[in-house]
Structure 1
């Protein structure tokens, strides 16, 4: 998982960063329909420096989404993050939490059978590290591609770049590819690989994703 750049954590330079380890992200997400043009998106992640062990980060996100057209969606949300910033277990390691506000807009279209989505997101990140507080603003752009192999199987890939609003402009880049399977109309799963590039560091992560979509709209009762 991403090791966030925070100026107060300079001690990481002298430690084992775990770059040579294959880690993992376990993800549960879903979109929960409120009406024809409104929904709540939720996401929970448990990310580790090694496969399913040695926690790196946990997060929970909720985003209210409003579709202004069939292909354009606006979103505003909140996320809570807890980060263990070091690969090694140290007695005085500097773990920290983060509260995050975000705004986003997403456009989707197709190119033949390939579905494409462009997502633009602004993040306002409030870090709580013991008695120190840090606020960081960041911009993200993600290009996502999805190709249906048949009615059940699909391939998904994306590339996402993160840009800081300060002197250290480049934050990170994530390149991802996965194979997915549609279990039914509401549930699908994916298994894939992500390459994370940060300034001076690179990480390899397996991803295991379960998506559960629900419809929370009130159903009209049909009178006999």
Structure 2
């Protein structure tokens, strides 16, 4: 009987150790994103945006991100933006009693779009001020992000997309994060885009595999252009 109890104890301890060793790298996680770009005039627009991150495809909560940005389009292919974002972050994969990290974020952004042949190329620079509320302290961090995006149309409905975004942290671990995306997009309606990406997420020495499903809707309430007629 004593030997049996010892065997059960050993099996239980081994199983507990394996469970404790589960990391984000063990899962195919998912990001679900939704954004609306609404233009009021040729020069001004707003973008409400939200993300849900899961450690697994359809479960195991990781993060929510919501933001609202105001945009000024000083040229048809160039935009500057300022935005506020709120994040709720659960950095523990398994169930725990630790409070989630809360983040208030302000960021400034410049984006530039141009074409080379059939490729649409976007450059996006973003400077972030992050105000983090951890379990036992408050922390403020700054970082710079640059995203290069390529889009290649297959036809009027389908397109291929490729993006890479390195992060530069102004505190410790200067190059602590990079996101590389490859995917396919669908122009579902005149103003609605669905994109499905696979991406490699390198963060804090972890190599994560993720699927991203994004819906973007473009709307506008621009007044119609008036055409003057000669008298």
TM, length-normalised to structure 1 = 0.88
- Which of 30, 36, 42 aligns to 2:42? It is 36
Structure 2 Cα separation of the partners of residues 159 and 50 of structure 1: 22
1:152 maps to: 157
8 A contact 1:65–1:76 mirrored in 2: yes
Segments of structure 1 that go 5 or more residues without pairing to the other structure are 1-13
Off by >6 Å, runs of 4+ in structure 1: none
1:94: how far off?
Answer: 4.2
Q: Does 1:165 align with 2:170?
A: yes
Distance 2:137 2:111 in 1: 34
Residues 117-146 of structure 1 deviation map (CA, whole Å, 9 limit, x = unaligned): 111110000011245211000100000011
Which residue does the alignment assign to 1:189? 194
Query: Residues of 2 paired with 1:15 and 1:122: CA distance?
Result: 35
Larger Rg: 2
Q: How many residues align?
A: 208
User: Partners of 1:170 and 1:89 in 2: how far apart?
Assistant: 30
Which residues in structure 2 correspond to 1:114-125 (within 5 Å)? 114-125=119-130
Bigger proportion of residues as helix: 2
Higher strand share: 1
CA RMSD in angstroms, aligned pairs only: 1.8
1:81 corresponds to 2:87:
yes
* Contact map agreement 1:85 1:94 (CA 8 A) in 2: no
**Unmatched 5+ residue regions in structure 2?**
1-19, 227-231
